[in-house]
Chains A and B, each alone.
Chain A
Amino acid sequence: MTITPETLNGLNNDLSSVVGETEVIREDNGYHAFCGLVCVGWLYQKMKDSFFLILGTHTCAHLLQNALGVMIFAKPRYGVAMIEEADLSAAQIDITDIVKNIIDEHHPSVIFLLNSCTPEIMKVDFETMAKNLNLQFNNTPVLPVRADGLEYTMTQADDNVLQSLLQFCPEAPAGKKEIVFLGAVNDVNAGELQRECEKLGLPVAGFVPSNTFKELPAIGPDTIIAPLQPFVAGAARLFNRKRGAKVLESVFPIGPDGTRIFLEDLAREFGKEVDLSEREAECWKNIEAKVQHIRGKRIFITGDNMLELPVSRFLKAAGAEVLETGTPYVNKRFHARELKLLAGQRIVEMPNMSRQINDIRALKPDLVITNFWQANPHEAEGQATKWSTEFLFTPIFGFSGAGDLANLFSRALKRHRKLDLMDWKEFLPNN
């Protein structure tokens, strides 16, 4: 049998769809993403009185210590209840003692119990397990969260964690029209978003997740849910369904352009027409020293965490040419506004990694925005890169975050240009 590209069924595919004027190509197999468990890396830091318990295996433990590069000095507020060989044939998996020890040692306000691929395949009855634990430990809620890599990438499991929090948000009475921001952002970004709202006279009830389990904001039928990240669609939908809260349909507050649209749309929810174009222009001016390195550059985003759509939209606004925007998953409804602004752009869902590598070799972009592991091999081929996973660890939201966002790309480009002056070609791999 001869192998031709045509026989690669399922790889070059026909799963594309069109949203408005924006085509989203869907590829399959051979994509790369971290699994849902990785969201623990930032969420345990965000929620300071939480514990994240993963029902998993040795592989899950190894993933967590490697993927996020956190070497543990002392016991962190996350760990793996490790399924060993004997447990595979056990009548049922019992983690009561492990949960008891966690409560005794860490005194968390809440335990998030995350499943993983192995218990999923073993068909462990996860919900019942959590229910039984809640009966035994009634002072510490144990919240089941689906995070297995069979279904969820890292940021999608973040969404599942947020969904589990709703039941602990107090009920806001009807008529109390306040904003609840949805998404784990750091204190600096959160503070700025709150300040911008105050300046516009928009009342803010709080953030989900909050820094501690005890300070979750009240949510009711007149709450305005303002999603901050593209991956919190499930939580937004749930808050709407269960409490009748209204979900803001806008772009995400990333970049000067996105932040302006986001705030203007938010104000409109309160019947206020505001024009923040001057504020946006001022922000662009403030970050011009960084943006000038991005302008006119050809950029390829391979995709790993779903923040790609707003980042791509920002890069386009900054004057870059984005050759491809890869992303693990597109939610056509939740991302509709971003997609509209990306009309005409090449967007690929679940991109095939091998195809992307070949395309990058052919296109030779000025910058490849890619995951942790692909960056160095691309650099070895002479390609400037930037880690996309950094979007998750950098305060890129709001007007104040725009500089940090631009800096991610301008620094990489500037550094490359400077090193290129060294004439080091013979010292480098593949010279």
Chain B
Amino acid sequence: MRMSYWEYQGTAHTGVARVACSMKDVHGVFYSPVGDSYIHSMFTMMERMDRFPPITTSVLDAQTMGMGMNKLPDTLRQVYNDHKPKLIAIACTCSSTLLQEDLGMLAKSAGIPEDETEIMVYAPNPYRVEEDEAANGLLTAMTEKFASQPLPPTAKPSVNIIGPISLGFHNKQDLISLRRMLAVMGLEINAVFPLEAGLDDVRNLPQAWATIAPYREMGYDAALYLEEKHGIPAVTTTPIGVGLTRRWVKETLAAVARFAAAHGLSYDAREPALAAFSMDQKTMPSALPWFSYTADTQSFSSRKAFVFGDFTHTAAICRMLSEEMDIQVVAAGTYNLRLAKEFKEAVAPYTDEVIISVEFEEVRKRIAALGPDFVLGTQMERHTSAGFDIPCGVISNPTHIEDFSLGYQPFLGYDGSNFVTDRIYHTMTLGLEKHLIEMFGDAGLGEDGARKNGIGGTSPTVQASVLNEAEREARKYAEAAELEAKAQQLAVDGGAVAVVAVAAPPVELGWTDEAQKALKGIPFFVRPKVQKRVEEYARTHGYSLITLDLVYEVKEKAG
């Protein structure tokens, strides 16, 4: 039992629905109370799906339960008549699973012709398996069921792409990026699964020469199954950042070559010229390397990032920040408990602190304590950071209406490296402006002037909350007033802004007038941070009175 105000992931049936809604001829049927059909709107409103989601609820209610009835066979017949899907996947939800009914038997009694519509009961434990894991598990189960028979390889070298899925973070645009790259590499796409796939695509998975599974939490296990069962090599590298993208290109080519060799087929596995991957076929496919050498990004080396999200994006972006942009990662975390151990190993080279948590308040506490220069996280971290006036860029699900941009914003591949670099840079830009002002006091703008000019931001400390309390209160009321209107819109931000409360320091430290004056000379938005640093130093070195000398001493030592 725990108290929950918000969750990073949905439950298992959301995962099943994401697979069904990705595909052309698969229908999800949920044996559940009527309210569990709330997930429909995630597809039609957030993703702006332009058809009726192929998911149907077979309603479990008190009346039918009392009468010992089950409407599942009726529902299945209606789904069959209306949609003629090739596959119906049946799942329970958290309440109906407790009834432990034999859904397989019930489904059989519907009398639906098997040669037209297959029925598959997929019932992961909703108390153990969350959204991503359920979707991934269904991909594996479908692959095992429909792609177990070997097939002759396609005439031309081809690959499967497993993982892109409905409500996946920028997945549709990732797919465009991957398609562009594979075309340059001379590789055809045998099947994409589950996005835009039909059941026949799943049946045809065994005819590819290699499988690409770029997302660790989605499609990875299906790719490994195809490798083990049919000897189709799996490429599981996530091509985020220039280094990993180039490695992914080479690994994909090598995988196809390996398959060709094993089957006595010919394949030229040479890496295409880099310019061939670029938008204009002339320049470099990613400007990130040159960007990182340019002089204005030198200050990145002193910037501290806090990264939190799913496994795939968080791990890959930590690497990109650290290796390709030389930005410090003060902490990296994920809400994916199941992959915790692997995540720790993945980010160990880039950070000292790893956070594994499904509770956003834990993450908030760490952001407050670490006071990073910027945060890369989920929409929740964006809200948390807004409360602390720390810039934040969104790099991971949970899905949000803003993640479905109209423009081309991939995370994967060389195109993705450019977009992700832009997103990080734009998140940090404010920090750079601050850096200049830090040198010259507040540039004569004063607090109000600075804020008016868009230069704001303070660290999460007592001072910050006092300083901004009036503003926060005003914002809170403004937002509360808007809430009523906003509530009609799905996944639109509302609610009240967090007011940060930081515990009082254990030892009361005194500041001399001189030292205090110096402190006040520091621009307001870095003042709390400097104060915190000086006080921490004083405490660890046993001072109880902070003098001007001590301030300078800290400045000199801490830089």
Give complex CA distance A278, B82 in Å: 51
CB proximity of A379 to chain B, nearest CB, Å = 8
State which of B34, B127, B492 has its C-beta within 8 Å of the C-beta of A33. B34
CB proximity of A74 to chain B, nearest CB, Å = 4
State which of A36, A84, A121 has its C-beta within 8 Å of the C-beta of B127. A84
For residue A425, CB closer than 8 A to chain B, the reply is no
For residue A344, CB closer than 8 A to chain B, the reply is no
Q: Contact flags (1/0) for A146-160 with B, using CB distance below 8 Å?
A: 001111010000000
If A57-B95, A79-B4, A151-B62 touch, whether A30 touches B78 (CB-CB below 8 Å) is yes
A377 close to B49 (CB less than 8 A): yes
Q: Contact flags (1/0) for A44-57 with B, using CB distance below 8 Å?
A: 01000000000001
B483 close to A389 (CB less than 8 A): no
- Give the nearest-CB partner of A150 in chain B: B62
Chain A interfacial residues counted at CB < 8 A: 84
Q: Which of B139-147, B155-163, B340-348, B494-502 contacts A (4 or more CB under 8 A)?
A: B494-502
In B120-139, which residues have CB < 8 Å from any A CB? 125-128, 130
Q: Which residues of B contact A67 (CB under 8 A)?
A: 38, 41, 490
For residue B75, CB closer than 8 A to chain A, the reply is yes
Give complex CA distance A112, B53 in Å: 34
Q: Which residues of A contact B38 (CB under 8 A)?
A: 34-35, 63, 66-67
State which of B1, B42, B383, B484 has its C-beta within 8 Å of the C-beta of A87. B1
Give complex CA distance A430, B51 in Å: 9
For residue B489, CB closer than 8 A to chain A, the reply is yes
For residue A374, CB closer than 8 A to chain B, the reply is yes
Q: Which residues of B contact A153 (CB under 8 A)?
A: 34
Q: Which of A4-12, A218-226, A229-237 contacts B (4 or more CB under 8 A)?
A: A4-12
State which of A63, A69, A148 has its C-beta within 8 Å of the C-beta of B494. A69
If A59-B93, A73-B496 touch, whether A45 touches B2 (CB-CB below 8 Å) is no
Q: Which residues of B contact A91 (CB under 8 A)?
A: none
For residue A80, CB closer than 8 A to chain B, the reply is yes
Q: Contact flags (1/0) for B479-490 with A, using CB distance below 8 Å?
A: 110011111111
B494 close to A85 (CB less than 8 A): no
Q: Which residues of A contact B523 (CB under 8 A)?
A: none
For residue B246, CB closer than 8 A to chain A, the reply is no
CB proximity of B163 to chain A, nearest CB, Å = 22
For residue B112, CB closer than 8 A to chain A, the reply is yes
State which of B40, B82, B493, B498 has its C-beta within 8 Å of the C-beta of A32. B40
B11 close to A30 (CB less than 8 A): no
In B1-57, which residues have CB < 8 Å from any A CB? 1-7, 9-11, 13-14, 33-45, 48-53, 56-57
If A66-B490, A82-B3 touch, whether A374 touches B44 (CB-CB below 8 Å) is yes
26 A-B pairs with CB atoms under 8 Å apart are A1-B113, A3-B77, A3-B112, A5-B81, A9-B74, A32-B37, A62-B9, A66-B42, A68-B487, A69-B487, A70-B483, A70-B487, A71-B6, A71-B380, A71-B383, A83-B1, A117-B94, A121-B98, A149-B36, A150-B61, A150-B95, A357-B52, A372-B490, A374-B40, A376-B45, A393-B488
Residues on B lying within 8 angstroms of A by beta carbon are 1-7, 9-11, 13-14, 33-45, 48-53, 56-62, 65, 71, 74-75, 77-78, 80-82, 93-96, 98-99, 111-113, 125-128, 130, 379-380, 383-384, 386-387, 400, 479-480, 483-499
The list of the 8 closest CB pairs from A to B, nearest first, reads A35-B35, A149-B35, A117-B95, A429-B50, A380-B50, A373-B41, A85-B127, A373-B40
